[in-house]
Amino acid sequence: MMYKRVIFLGVISWLLMALSCRDQSPEGPVTNVDLQFVATFGDQPLVMYDKYDYDDTTRVFFERFNFFISDVSLVAAGSQSETPLLEVDYISFDEVQSVAAAEAGVRVQLTKVPVGSYAMLRIGVGVPADLNVDADYSPTHPLGARKESHYWSGWGSYIFAKIEGKADTNGDDQYDDVAFSHHLGTNELYQNVELPVSLELVEGQDGVVKVVVDVRKLYVRADGMLNLVENPGTHTDSQLVVAKSIMDRFPFAMHIAP
């Protein structure tokens, strides 16, 4: 009798331990998804300091391209069920100095993503208003780590994206004609981007979603490309219109690669 009780208590203990150690997600099994950001200029990989045709008369190279992403979520196929996955992170192509690095892109891992079928990826470009404050984020937080370089007290806002480079406008192969520095921020410039995906996540297998950002499309205007000579910077309130015109193009500049 005593022997049976011991076995019974042992089984109960084992069950309790097993239950307490299993994944707590109410949605069932989960996996990871790599968001792979790749930047291009048109159909060419974007490599810092490589030269690109900007328009008929201008060639450019880029020295910095970085931006914050936020409120990343996946929307399930066949329903509007949305799974929030990431609050905020920083994507930088500043150190991309080879085609291989450009093709590898910059990766952000989304963890504990419920397995299933997804039809939409939602990404905010910039810092959402509730986080876009002068707060003491820890040095390991994406907004803490980049505060000195990206929080602009004059705006009371993080710089959501930085695009910097130089241009040769007279065809002499010297890039000293224009140095452009487009720093884009403030709450009204925040962008919500929705990207259709066809993503099947199965247990035990990580997913990959490749997000392409075509920097050239950020500068396309109805009448051609943004005039860099007239608009080399976007730092003051008076340049907000230009800044907004660049940020507004993000939804059109991003797509999911097959």
Partner 1 sequence: MKRHVVGWLSIVFVGVMLIWGCRKPSGVDPSDECEPLTHIDYEPTPKEVVVPPNFPPMPVPPDNPITEEGVALGRYLFYDPILSSDSTMSCASCHMPELSFTDGLAVSEGVTGEQGTRSAMSLLNVGYFLNGLFWDGRSPDLEDQALQPVENPVELHESWPRVEEKLRRHSLYPELFRKAFGIENTCEITKELTAKAIAQFERILVSSGQSKYDRRVNGVPGVFFTESELRGFDMFFDISPELPDAECGHCHNVPFFTTNDYFNNGIEAVSDLNGFPDKGRGDVTGSIFDNGKFRAPTLRNITLTAPYMHDGRFQTLEEVLDHYNSGGHYADNRDPLIRPLSLTEEQKQDIINFLKTLEDIPFTQNPEFQNPWE
Q: What's the min distance (Å) between Cβ of 35 and partner 1? A: 24
CB-nearer residue toward partner 1: 110 or 228: 228
Min CB(178)–partner 1 separation in Å = 9
Nearer to partner 1, 144 or 251 (CB): 144
Question: Shortest distance, CB of residue 186 to partner 1, whole angstroms?
Answer: 14
* Residues within the interface to partner 1 (CB under 8 A): 48-49, 61, 63, 95, 97, 136-139, 144-145, 147-149, 151-154, 164-166, 175-176, 179-181, 183, 233, 235-238
The encoded tokens of residue 198 equal 């066809």
What is the closest distance, in whole angstroms, from the C-beta atom of residue 101 to partner 1 in the complex?
Answer: 11
* Residue whose entry in the numeric block shows the structure tokens 């806002």: 157
Residue with tokens 């991309």: 96
- Nearer to partner 1 (CB atom), residue 79 or residue 98: 98
Encoding tokens for residue 139?
């040095």
Cα torsion 206, 200, 192, 150 to 10°: value is: 10
d(CA 155, CA 161): 14
Residue that the structure tokens 């009798």 belong to: 1
Residue 73 burial by CB count (10 A; 0-12/13-18/19+): exposed, middle or buried? middle
Q: Of the two residues 134 and 248, which places its CB atom closer to partner 1 in the complex?
A: 134
